[in-house]
Amino acid sequence: MSTPSALPAGARLLHIGLPKTGTTALQASFHAARAELAQQGVHYASKGPNPLRVARYAAGTAVPADAAGREALEGRWRRLSAEFRDSRARVTVLSSEAFSGAAPERVDAIAEALGADATVVVTLRPVAALLPSHWQQAIRHGATEPLEEWLGHVLDPDHPFAAAMGRYAPETLLATWGRSFSEDRMVFVCGDPQDRQFNHRTFEALLGIEGVLKQQDVANSSPPYAEIELLRHLNLAHGDRGSDERWTRVLRRAGRRMGDTPPPGASAERLQLPRWAVERINETAQASISALRASGAVVVGDPANLISDPDRHPVDVRSPEAVSLEMAGWFAQAVAELAVAEADEPAQERVRRLEADLAAAEERASRVQDVPASRLARALAAKAARRLGLKGPARRS
């Protein structure tokens, strides 16, 4: 199917990714078009483009260790799910790729919270196009494995890395999400690598609108291969000093800065998978294509788009061994700046809390100044009496 039918009035659409399938661009377009969407009866749930932290919490992939953090996210999830579930719009949309990482029991909980009659939409790309980004994400989170070693793990069916990646396979999603929402409520969008507007047009067709979702400028690029290797060697130098969330945040932000605003002297070489990896990926992709074609789900686009051409990939991929001095200097400055900012963050948060407390105190003081003296005296006397366990002064009639 090239164009899906529009969803009926009152429908709710849950877009669960997958990650790295154009989700950021699509979410930015939805967020920018909120007003026009509302005029056409479409409500885009959540305040921002992507409720990532809440979706990770709902999926069970990022649950705070402290009770206060869990309680805060649970409250946000309850409010978001109620906004989606109870919406009276012609069509309601909720989008976050974090949902796709949910284990089966969490999918059941998501269905219960959002309503199992929602339509679940999954955007797909060839796995060979996704794995470079997944390796880079692993490096940004402290991994040290070179690309070929990491690929060997991910493509080994018996390795834990492969099991984690297998959660995103279409046949797995059909089994888990199809069980909770039913297969005939699932839509798989097989993107066209030659058509950057394919996802946007598909969602517009589902929503019964046209020309509303426009491409936005989104900074979400991946750094060149050499710069990712620089991050990897920084992880190696960091050594076995234990996991540190602050260090991981510095790495993530440094990697994002390298990709979004590449400095002068950055390498132009983009990461490609070796041919052997693409050939092995294509073997497993055939199983995904067969599962999609045999399912009761709606499939938009050609499932054959999930196959990559091995001949467009090099036989061997050599890891870069050097970066320019200009790049090295920029990188050292960026990491130092981000590390200082990370170290200052707790102090800045305390300052913000103190400023908020001071503003609240000043507001209370201004209200007190406006209260007549006799009324203020009675209020203070009543408060003192309550503390002493006595009855307050009698009210005048």
Question: Where residue 132 sits, what CATH number does that domain have?
Answer: 3.40.50.300
pLDDT for 154:
94
**Per-residue pLDDT tens listing for the chain (397 residues):** 778 999 999 999 999 999 999 999 999 999 999 999 999 999 999 999 999 999 999 999 999 888 999 999 999 999 999 999 999 999 999 999 999 999 999 999 999 999 999 999 999 999 999 999 999 988 888 889 999 999 999 999 999 888 888 888 999 999 999 999 999 999 999 999 889 899 999 999 999 999 999 999 876 667 888 888 988 988 888 776 556 677 778 877 887 787 777 776 677 778 899 999 999 999 999 999 999 999 999 999 999 999 999 999 999 888 888 888 888 887 888 888 888 888 776 666 655 666 666 666 656 656 555 556 566 566 656 655 565 555 544 544 4
Same domain, 287 and 193: yes
pLDDT for 386:
60
pLDDT for 361:
62
Same domain, 285 and 366: no
Answer whether 324's CB lies under 8 Å from 230's CB: no
- Answer whether 0.85 is exceeded by the pTM: no
Same domain, 88 and 185: yes
Q: Which of 199, 233, 231 is nearest to 215 (CA)?
A: 199
The verdict on residue 379 lying in a domain is yes
Same domain, 291 and 365: no
In the chain, what is the greatest distance between 2 CA atoms, to the nearest angstrom?
A: 94
The verdict on residue 5 lying in a domain is no
The verdict on residue 3 lying in a domain is no
Same domain, 383 and 299: no
The verdict on residue 235 lying in a domain is no
Same domain, 97 and 202: yes
The verdict on residue 35 lying in a domain is yes
Same domain, 98 and 43: yes
Answer whether 139's CB lies under 8 Å from 319's CB: no
pLDDT for 385:
57
The verdict on residue 282 lying in a domain is yes
Same domain, 351 and 307: no
Boundaries of domain holding 380: 347-388
pLDDT for 359:
66
Same domain, 41 and 136: yes
CA distance 59 to 63: 9
How many domains does the chain divide into? 2
Same domain, 130 and 215: yes
Exposure letters 60-92 (e unless 16+ CB within 10 A, then b): ebeeeeeeeeeeebeebbeebbeebbebebbbb
The verdict on residue 231 lying in a domain is no
Same domain, 192 and 135: yes
The verdict on residue 341 lying in a domain is no
Same domain, 279 and 365: no
